[in-house]
């Protein structure tokens, strides 16, 4: 061991305590599991290189190069072998292992991991060790591009660190979706749950059923009174132009229509973009409820050919439709999990459907609740035959679910759901309304409540806890008419969630995290994010929507006579 190396090691060993860290180290979000501070700093200079030791790391190296070259204005070169910054796969290759080590010392910066995602996490940490201007889209002069000497050993507490985006209500363009993925990457989120269809629109091209997007991706916002978000924001922000984003408009037969969809080619582009950033894309095709657009496009999908949601699960042709759709989905998304949805189904409509009733009798089911459970199990078998695993909102527990389905616990107001699911052997992702609905209203205490709250219920036994896959936040779009509004609702809330999902072993006290956040906000600014300032008063959200804007929704439960 060289003398120089021995000295550095001693300095590292002398500081294992996060409280004594330099400002850059303290400002890391999420906080790494182990940080050893050194003394000194490594300076990035013009002509720096990014080396990689395995060809699979080239996209990660190019990604980092683009960031550094843009912000520093330096010449940056990617090369095989070692570089000023070296990215290295080491040990037994394991892409499921997200851990990494990052070392910065006099010899440069070294990021080492067993798999691609670990390397990406190391790059995200490196970005946060550099001045926040590194996130800038233009070259920044007069910045000293230094990295503090440090050794970081890090891994996530939870594998599932998700954000769900809903382009069905408000359509996000390709660029907006990519910007969202950029943010996810910086904060080490692992799963992009993409809610691609809902009552208001169908957003993904399905070749076998072209009407789903030809018709189903568009709506007349005046006739279909489902554009509350625009109205609310137009009032709240006193901006009448908010009613219809001009880039999402099409005029057809004199009607002004709002919408858009992702072609299969574009879906491939998003999946590839996310993969470079270490993010799995988990598509949700929400069956059998929330399907008003599909049943309007193909009325045979509905129980009485009346175009009303939900899907008629009594008809074999409808089961075939669902399988056809998922078959195309499986080809587009190469990941293990696909979301079936299954929430808020207006099951009462099945009571009067001869096909649904015949299915109940034929399958020996008790009622309409068991009919949905039968549908979910049937689809799960189809998923499994195609090598995929099923996830659904927590309603899939009702009427019996197989042990292999994973449950998104969203109804925070319903106690015991996680216990019930895990006792049945099901894995759970926690995204309770209580903390994780980022479209809900917020005030100046919301962030602290999220940070200090029990996103994973406190009373779980160790056996139940082992079945918790992780956490996610959901960003529904009914009251989010623009990307700017979405960012305002999501940031910096998402940073608190990122911290909690990554590091449950050394969660900082709130006061320390809040101070970190203050230091961190210029980074969001450098990325051009319209984040919510820490003190901004009250902001309306889905749960506080004005009553006069809710009038045309169809009832979720059977109307009382
Ligand atoms: C949901 O919020 N309906 C899952
Ligand atoms: Zn039916």
If you measure from the C-alpha of residue 293 to the centroid of ligand 2, how many angstroms do you get, rounded to a whole number? 17
What's the pLDDT score for residue 13?
Answer: 35
- Identify the weakest region by mean pLDDT among 107-111, 190-194, 217-221, 408-412: 217-221
pLDDT reading at 16 higher than 50? no
pLDDT reading at 435 higher than 50? yes
Burial class (CB in 10 A: 0-12, 13-18, 19+), 254: exposed
| 37 is a domain residue | yes
| 462 is a domain residue | yes
Spatial CA neighbour of 519 closest among 62, 131, 102, 154: 131
Mean pLDDT (whole number) for 265-293: 97
> Read out DSSP for 66-78?
HHHHHHH---EEE
Higher pLDDT, 505 or 117: 117
Tokens of 455: 């996103």
| 378 is a domain residue | no
pLDDT reading at 252 higher than 90? no
What mean pLDDT, rounded, does the chain reach? 91
**219, 149: one domain:** no
End of a domain among 96, 123, 154? 154
Give the highest mean pLDDT range of 223-227, 415-419, 538-542: 415-419
CATH code, domain carrying 93: 3.30.379.10
| 231 is a domain residue | yes
Using the atom order of ligand 1, give the atom closest to the CA of residue 476.
Answer: 2
Residue 74: pLDDT band (50, 70, 90) is very high
For 297-431, list the strands marked E by DSSP: 337-341, 389-393, 406-409, 427-430
Nearest CA owner, ligand 1 atom 2:
410
Higher pLDDT, 484 or 356: 356
Q: Note whether 64 and 50 are within 8 A (CB).
A: yes
If you measure from the C-alpha of residue 244 to the centroid of ligand 1, how many angstroms do you get, rounded to a whole number? 25
The Cβ of residue 292 has, within 10 Å, a number of other Cβ atoms equal to 24
If you measure from the C-alpha of residue 391 to the centroid of ligand 2, how many angstroms do you get, rounded to a whole number? 24
If you measure from the C-alpha of residue 551 to the centroid of ligand 2, how many angstroms do you get, rounded to a whole number? 26
Mean pLDDT (whole number) for 519-546: 90
Residue 376's Cβ-side half-sphere holds a number of Cα atoms within 13 Å equal to 33
**Best of 198, 410, 429 to mutate for ligand 1, by most ligand atoms within 8 A of CB?**
410
Higher pLDDT, 256 or 312: 312
What are the b/e assignments for 55-65, b being 16+ CB within 10 Å?
A: eebebbbebbb
Residue 195: pLDDT band (50, 70, 90) is very high
**150, 166: one domain:** no
What's the pLDDT score for residue 261?
Answer: 97
Ligand nearest to the CA of 168: 1
| 328 is a domain residue | no
**412, 506: one domain:** yes
Nearest CA owner, ligand 1 atom 3:
343
Nearest CA owner, ligand 1 atom 1:
343
Q: Which domain holds residue 536?
A: 160-284+403-550
| 220 is a domain residue | yes
**9, 76: one domain:** yes
Using the atom order of ligand 1, give the atom closest to the CA of residue 341.
Answer: 4
**131, 169: one domain:** no
**164, 118: one domain:** no
pTM: 0.93
Ligand nearest to the CA of 413: 1
If you measure from the C-alpha of residue 503 to the centroid of ligand 1, how many angstroms do you get, rounded to a whole number? 27
If you measure from the C-alpha of residue 320 to the centroid of ligand 1, how many angstroms do you get, rounded to a whole number? 25
**Best of 193, 199, 284, 343 to mutate for ligand 1, by most ligand atoms within 8 A of CB?**
343
Mean pLDDT (whole number) for 452-461: 95
**Best of 339, 393, 440 to mutate for ligand 1, by most ligand atoms within 8 A of CB?**
393
End of a domain among 86, 119, 154? 154
What's the pLDDT score for residue 12?
Answer: 37
- Identify the weakest region by mean pLDDT among 58-62, 63-67, 78-82, 304-308: 304-308
Within 6 A (CB) of ligand 1 lie 343-344, 393, 410
If you measure from the C-alpha of residue 322 to the centroid of ligand 1, how many angstroms do you get, rounded to a whole number? 20
**Cα 557 → chain centroid:** 29
What's the pLDDT score for residue 11?
Answer: 36
The Cβ of residue 537 has, within 10 Å, a number of other Cβ atoms equal to 8
| 421 is a domain residue | yes
If you measure from the C-alpha of residue 305 to the centroid of ligand 2, how many angstroms do you get, rounded to a whole number? 9
Mean pLDDT (whole number) for 324-347: 98
**109, 238: one domain:** no
What's the pLDDT score for residue 546?
Answer: 61
Ligand nearest to the CA of 345: 1
What's the pLDDT score for residue 17?
Answer: 40
Higher pLDDT, 509 or 20: 509
If you measure from the C-alpha of residue 356 to the centroid of ligand 2, how many angstroms do you get, rounded to a whole number? 4
Mean pLDDT (whole number) for 453-475: 97
**Per-residue DSSP letter, 54:** S
Mean pLDDT (whole number) for 187-203: 96
pLDDT reading at 39 higher than 90? yes
- Identify the weakest region by mean pLDDT among 275-289, 363-377, 497-511: 497-511
What's the pLDDT score for residue 551?
Answer: 46
Whole-number Cα distances in Å, 150 to 40, 126, 240: 9, 10, 51
**77, 219: one domain:** no
Dihedral (CA of 465, 385, 368, 436) sign: positive
Ligand nearest to the CA of 355: 2
| 352 is a domain residue | no
Using the atom order of ligand 1, give the atom closest to the CA of residue 433.
Answer: 2
Phi-psi region of 40 (alpha: psi -120 to 50; beta: other; left: phi over 0): left
What's the pLDDT score for residue 80?
Answer: 98
Using the atom order of ligand 1, give the atom closest to the CA of residue 408.
Answer: 4
Residue 38: pLDDT band (50, 70, 90) is very high
Using the atom order of ligand 1, give the atom closest to the CA of residue 474.
Answer: 2
**Per-residue DSSP letter, 31:** P
**144, 32: one domain:** yes
Using the atom order of ligand 1, give the atom closest to the CA of residue 344.
Answer: 3
Mean pLDDT (whole number) for 447-476: 97
Total domain count for the chain? 2
The Cβ of residue 513 has, within 10 Å, a number of other Cβ atoms equal to 23
What's the pLDDT score for residue 480?
Answer: 85
pLDDT reading at 198 higher than 90? yes
**407, 520: one domain:** yes
End of a domain among 98, 133, 154? 154
pLDDT reading at 227 higher than 60? no
pLDDT reading at 14 higher than 70? no
Tokens of 490: 């999501």
Element containing residue 147 per DSSP (H, E): strand 146-154
CATH code, domain carrying 208: 3.20.20.80
**12, 143: one domain:** yes
The Cβ of residue 547 has, within 10 Å, a number of other Cβ atoms equal to 6
pLDDT reading at 238 higher than 80? no
**543, 422: one domain:** yes
Element containing residue 281 per DSSP (H, E): strand 280-284
Higher pLDDT, 393 or 27: 393
Residue 36: pLDDT band (50, 70, 90) is very high
Element containing residue 25 per DSSP (H, E): helix 23-26
What's the pLDDT score for residue 184?
Answer: 98
If you measure from the C-alpha of residue 159 to the centroid of ligand 2, how many angstroms do you get, rounded to a whole number? 38
């Amino acid at each position: 061991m060289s003398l120089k190396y021995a000295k550095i090691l001693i300095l590292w060993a002398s500081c294992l305590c996060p409280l004594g860290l330099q400002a850059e180290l303290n400002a890391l979000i999420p906080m790494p599991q182990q940080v050893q501070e050194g003394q000194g700093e490594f300076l990035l200079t013009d002509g720096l290189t990014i080396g990689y030791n395995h060809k699979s790391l080239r996209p990660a190296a190019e990604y980092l190069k683009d960031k550094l070259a843009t912000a520093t204005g330096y010449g940056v070169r990617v090369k095989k072998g070692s570089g000023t910054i070296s990215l290295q796969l080491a040990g037994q290759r394991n892409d499921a292992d997200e851990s990494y080590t990052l070392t910065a010392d006099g010899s440069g910066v070294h990021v080492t991991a067993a798999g691609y995602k670990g390397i990406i996490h190391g790059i995200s940490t490196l970005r946060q060790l550099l001045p926040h201007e590194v996130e800038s889209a233009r070259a920044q002069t007069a910045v000293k591009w230094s990295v503090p000497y440090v050794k970081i050993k890090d891994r996530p507490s939870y594998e599932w660190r998700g954000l769900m985006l809903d382009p069905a209500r408000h359509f996000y363009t390709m660029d907006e979706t990519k910007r969202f993925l950029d943010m996810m990457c910086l904060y080490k989120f692992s799963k992009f749950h993409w809610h691609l269809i809902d009552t208001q629109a169908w957003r993904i091209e399905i070749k076998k059923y072209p009407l789903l997007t030809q018709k189903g991706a568009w709506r007349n916002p005046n006739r279909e009174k489902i554009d509350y978000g625009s109205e609310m924001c137009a009032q709240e922000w006193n901006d009448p132009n908010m009613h219809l984003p001009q880039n999402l408009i099409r005029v057809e037969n004199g009607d002004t229509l709002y919408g858009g969809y992702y072609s299969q080619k574009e879906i491939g582009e998003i999946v590839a973009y996310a993969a470079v950033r270490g993010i799995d894309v988990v598509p949700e095709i929400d069956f059998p409820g929330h399907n008003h657009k599909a049943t309007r496009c193909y009325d045979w999908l509905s129980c009485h050919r009346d175009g009303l949601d939900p899907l008629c699960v009594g008809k074999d042709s409808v089961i075939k439709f669902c399988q056809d759709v998922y078959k195309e989905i499986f080809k587009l998304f190469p990941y293990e999990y696909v979301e079936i949805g299954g929430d808020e189904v207006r099951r009462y409509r099945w009571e009067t459907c001869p096909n649904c009733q015949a299915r109940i009798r034929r399958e020996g089911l008790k009622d309409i609740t068991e009919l949905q459970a039968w549908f979910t199990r049937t689809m799960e078998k189809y998923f499994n035959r195609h090598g995929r695993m099923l996830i659904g909102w927590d309603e899939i527990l009702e009427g019996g679910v197989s042990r292999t389905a994973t449950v998104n616990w969203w109804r925070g107001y319903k106690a015991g759901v996680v216990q019930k699911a895990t006792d049945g052997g099901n894995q759970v992702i926690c995204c309770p309304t209580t903390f994780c609905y980022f479209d809900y209203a917020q005030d100046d205490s919301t962030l602290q409540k999220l940070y200090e709250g029990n996103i994973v219920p406190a009373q779980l036994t160790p056996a139940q806890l082992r079945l918790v896959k992780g956490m996610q936040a959901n960003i529904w779009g009914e009251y989010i008419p623009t990307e700017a509004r979405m960012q305002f609702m999501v940031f910096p809330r998402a940073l608190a969630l990122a911290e909690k999902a990554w590091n449950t072993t050394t969660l900082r006290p709130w006061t320390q995290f809040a101070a970190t956040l203050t230091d961190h906000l210029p980074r969001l600014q450098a990325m051009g994010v319209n984040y919510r300032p820490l003190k901004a008063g009250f902001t309306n959200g889905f749960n506080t929507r004005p009553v006069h804007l809710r009038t045309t929704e169809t009832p979720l439960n059977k109307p009382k006579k």
